[in-house]
Amino acid sequence: MAERDDPGIIGRRVQQLRTERGLTQKQLAEGAYTPAYISTLEAGRVRPSEEALRHIAARLDVAYEELATGRPAHLATNLRLRLTDAQRTLATGEAEAAAEQYAALLEEAQAHGLDAECAAALLGLGECALESGDLVVGRLRFEQAEKRLADAPLPIRVPALRGRAVAHYLAGELRYACYLLESTLDELNRTGLHDPGALVLLYASVIAPYMDMGAHARAAQAAEFALALAPQVQDPALLARMHRSVARTLLAEGRTAEADASLGKAAELYRQLQIRTELANCHWMRGYVYAQNGRLDRAESELREARAMLAAKRATLYTSQVAVELADVLHRRGKSEEAAELLREVLGDLSSERGVVHSAAAHRLLGIIAEDARDTETAEEHYVRALSLLERAGAAGDLADLCRLLGDLFRRTGRVEAALDAYRTGLGHQTAPGTTTLGPSPAHPPL
């Protein structure tokens, strides 16, 4: 039975509808009830049974749901259909248009007190904000969705929790993103709430912060669990996202062919679903695979394709991030001037609060390019800025490498003590990877 308004609101609604139709209380009651009962009901002094409301609704020629809740018949169903349309708009990369759809749907759902539909609209607005790089707004929308779903089972709340974690991750708060994802995984597995879709979404999402923190063993385990649970998941978009995340762990283990095959599966699913932004991310990841494998011409082609697709859809943060990786490939191909120009262009879109890991990578690469040009002062300046960004984010693996570069620079310029300090700092990060600083790993799913 649908949730009803309180008796006083229902009474006033019955009286208004009866008056609009020119019916007396006797005519409304006819055949089953007394005029006195209708009078008491309209005064809000009795809670009508479902049978009584259905009789009155039939006499007033309105749907039972509308009489009981004040919502037009099939409103929730209609809203859900339109939410699906907004989701499709976002999938094609039109984040601004999708945000307008979601905002209108949120207003309508709020007006009728539909919490589940409000939460779905807020989730959509959060995803739109991530797409456009507005991480503060994205996090706020996901938090609002969580509040709307406060009384729902944990698996229902997982998309909002995951969205909030991704917003923190993109802002450079790697450890907190891991905490959110891990604590949710732990609660799901320890309490027996083994929802395969929710688990796969969380495992796929935790891989990136694990990798950036140097917790490669945990990333590999998360990928293993996601792959094991995948046969129980029906959502093709979620499976595609999982394959794209898993590819990163396969590549870290040197399994390039398997990583490429995983990306191929993801790309094919995205093409079938016509999800443009995620397809662009597949080109991005494939470019990364080719770059790691030394196939720089193919890497450049894939990364340029990804950047063009993301720029066309105004996904500004992701466009800047892929541009940093493209610049690295250009530098390795001897196109250092073009790479430096690209990096200076995108640094305006990246910061310590937005794309911090890629912002550090841009400064690191600008430092390398400056060193190649024998401009050690500029190189040192970029390395130090990169070091500050990575320390804030806790990106242990990248920190160790940067300390090596800075130490080498100090050594070549005769500053031996400074070089030793940099090397010691780098060794400290190598001997204390993310696996030893994240705390106990979450409970395992029952595989």
- Percent of the chain at pLDDT above 90? 44
Q: How far apart are CA 444 and CA 447, in angstroms?
A: 8
The predicted structure's pLDDT at residue 3: 60
Find out whether 386 and 361 touch, Cβ atoms under 8 Å. yes
The candidate with the shortest Cα–Cα distance to 148, out of 140, 157, 138, is: 157
363-413 per-position pLDDT tens digit: 999 999 999 999 999 999 999 999 988 888 877 767 888 898 999 999 999
The predicted structure's pLDDT at residue 409: 93
- Percent of the chain at pLDDT above 70? 95
Tell me the pLDDT band of 436, cut-offs 50, 70 and 90.
Answer: very low
The predicted structure's pLDDT at residue 129: 93
CA max distance for the chain: 102
The candidate with the shortest Cα–Cα distance to 364, out of 349, 382, 380, is: 382
What average pLDDT does the segment 109-130 reach?
91
Tell me, what amino acid is at 235? D
- Residue scoring higher pLDDT (297 or 266): 297
Q: How many angstroms from the chain centroid is the CA of residue 185?
A: 16
Q: How many angstroms from the chain centroid is the CA of residue 166?
A: 5
267-319 per-position pLDDT tens digit: 888 888 777 777 888 888 888 888 888 889 999 999 999 999 888 877 788 88
Give the three-class secondary structure for 396: helix
The predicted structure's pLDDT at residue 432: 47
Q: How far apart are CA 402 and CA 412, in angstroms?
A: 15
Partners of 354 in the beta sheet? 351
What average pLDDT does the segment 30-42 reach?
90
The candidate with the shortest Cα–Cα distance to 70, out of 13, 30, 28, is: 13
The predicted structure's pLDDT at residue 214: 80
Characterize 312-348 residue by residue with b for buried, 16 or more Cβ atoms within 10 angstroms of its Cβ, and e for exposed: ebebbbbbbbbbbbbbbbbbbeeebeebbebbeebbe
Give the three-class secondary structure for 387: helix
Q: How far apart are CA 107 and CA 131, in angstroms?
A: 22
Tell me, what amino acid is at 266? A
The predicted structure's pLDDT at residue 341: 94
Tell me the pLDDT band of 426, cut-offs 50, 70 and 90.
Answer: confident
Q: How far apart are CA 323 and CA 319, in angstroms?
A: 6
Q: How far apart are CA 120 and CA 109, in angstroms?
A: 10
Q: Which of 130-144, 156-170, 298-312, 340-354 has the lowest mean pLDDT?
A: 340-354
Tell me the pLDDT band of 182, cut-offs 50, 70 and 90.
Answer: very high
Sign of CA dihedral 195, 201, 204, 210: negative
Q: 174 to each of 249, 369, 383, how far by Cα in Å?
A: 17, 28, 21
Checking 340-347 for CB contacts under 8 A at 24+ apart, the result is 340/366, 340/369, 346/319, 346/320
Cβ of 238: how many Cβ atoms within 10 Å? 19
Q: 265 to each of 218, 273, 284, 304, 400, how far by Cα in Å?
A: 23, 12, 15, 21, 33
Cβ of 417: how many Cβ atoms within 10 Å? 8
425 half-sphere exposure, CB direction, 13 A CA radius: 20
Calculate the average pLDDT of the chain.
87
Backbone angles phi, psi at 371, to 5 degrees: -65, -40
Q: How many angstroms from the chain centroid is the CA of residue 23?
A: 54
Q: What is the dihedral of CA 86, 119, 146, 152, to 10 degrees?
A: -130
Find out whether 305 and 282 touch, Cβ atoms under 8 Å. no
Q: Is residue 222 scored above 90 in pLDDT?
A: yes
Angle value at C-alpha 334, between 328 and 335, nearest 5 degrees: 70
Cβ of 424: how many Cβ atoms within 10 Å? 11
